Structure 1
Amino acid sequence: MIECDNATNFKGAKRELDELAKLFASQQHQELVTRSCSMEGITFKFIPPRSPNFGGLWEAAVKSMKKHLLSTIGNVILYQDEFHTLLTQIESCLNSRPLTELNSDPNDLEVLTPGHFLVHQPLVAIPEPSLEGVPSNRLDRWQQTQEYVSRIWKQWQSEYLSGLQPRTQWTQQRNNVSVGTMVLLKEDNLPPLKWRFGRVVQVFSGEDGNIRVVTVRTKDGEFRRGISKICVLPVRNLSKSDSG
């Protein structure tokens, strides 16, 4: 199910998908394909017109990014091309965020991102040299734009990761951290669109039985981290009523 507002492009997408479903149903020689598509079809759920508060989840992400955008560029006047480039890269940052694991396979380290719904794969960016510490009067227009992107990314990523962590005291046991759990590692100085995630392969408890440290397997190897340095990705467990 896709829940969205009443924008004309979303309604047009619904009409196109409805027509595609009818086309598949009329092709008797593709019975197997038709059966598979009907089981995995998309159901659109629209929020009420002119009621953005019903879309609080995505509106909150937009509000957060606007806050960091305004605090970063302030009263700086950008050329149209510069501003368009900046907003496009910020959009990529938002759509690169991990949402949940793609499957529960302990050997699979892939996560679902908004980019999968747009281009069917995670969004990537060309690495740019770090401009931290370089005086602004020594930067050209392109470098200044990239420095804005880097600052906004750093602030927004930190805020997003903090939002994923449970609001509990560190002395309380976190039952959701167990072997096989997909987590994000809180790392400093990661470039835009770069996330480090992996699966917990080992847990270590303190004398009180509470989990304090975990070993996480990533694409770059295994790392040992305190639980304050990891964020558990949301996982939705489908019940029989959901799958029916």
Structure 2
Amino acid sequence: MIGSRKETLMKLNPVLDKDGLLRIGGRLSSAELNEDEKHPLIIPSSSHVATLLVRHFHEQSAHQGRHITEGAVRSAGFWIVGGKRLVSSLIHNCVTCRKLRGKMQFQKMADLPADRVTPEPPFTTVGLDVFGPWTIVTRRTRGGSARSKRWAVIFSCMTTRAVHIELIESMSTDSFINALRRFFAVRGPAKLLRSDRGTNFVGACKELGLDTDKSATGKFLQEKGCAWTFNPPHASHMGGSWERLIGVARRILEAMLTKNAQTNLSHEILSTFMAEVMAIINARPLVPVSTDPESPTVLTPAMLLTQKASSVSAPSGNFSQGQLYGKQWKRVQHLADTFWKRWKMEYLSSLQKRSKWTNNQPNVKEGDIVLLKDAQAHRNEWPMGLIVRTVPSGDNRVRKLKCGS
């Protein structure tokens, strides 16, 4: 190591100036530059003076990157041996730079919850969200037409990935309960409801007053024997299974509205469009379409819901091909058994891989200072917070926490 440092200095041709300081002799003595640029002062990177110089010129250059900071140090007449590593280290630990350009904290992707991987009847466990609004014509008047808004509640089955959509007239508690009652009447009561406190649903929660302990919604759910689980705030990725389906529904509806641009949108027309959107989403393949001629059918949620075109009900029993021509209930059960076998072999195995967040990351700890991301504000305006409590998951990795100001 000593030999390597000596060789580095020899390449710089060091000389002593009149003050006894070590400077670079170099080969630029004939250049039209000032003395500091031709013969910079040599400073070892391990010295405290080098650290102070880099910090000073880093602030002078408005917290720019390594290249600009190192250029400012060199232009001032200082040659820091091993300066690249020192500059990179100081920029990495600079609080201002981390606030301006630091990456978001993440943890290794968690395992899927049990209700995503357990065969159950459709809509036993449901994720829901509210999206919209759309402006519709409610009635004709002498001056033109009266207009109002409509929203939609999407109910997504966590197991079969089927979708049910209900329109609501307002963001009130009564309107939401009516949509929930219609959903339970058509699809049957659910065992567990999941919803996201983040992004577009957090506003609906405030309007609906969704407190499962006190509100009318909570009383209604208690009567149905249904539990409600809320995801942590600002964690929309935990509801990604139904957030993605909202994007699909929006794209399908936009295509329908573009095709029918001349149609005055009414509640009846919007309700019809939503039913068609629901049918298109439920007819989507859950797994890549096979080119095998022995398996011509496509695995879709509609197979369970409509019991048409190789569709089914709930998993139970082993049935042979010959029983298809017997009683109708045996035919349905055979189709159900076929669906759930393919669901386990084809769909469930496709959930094994982690598409991102594949590596373990250090857990944040109580007492850490963090920057709280706010999608509605500029990064310079993001507030700082103190972690007051962490909530480790089953694998002892922290994915939920509580911050104080």
Give TM-score scaled by structure 2 length: 0.20
- RCO greater where, 1 or 2, for CA within 8 Å and sep 6 or more? 1
User: TM-score normalized by structure 1?
Assistant: 0.30
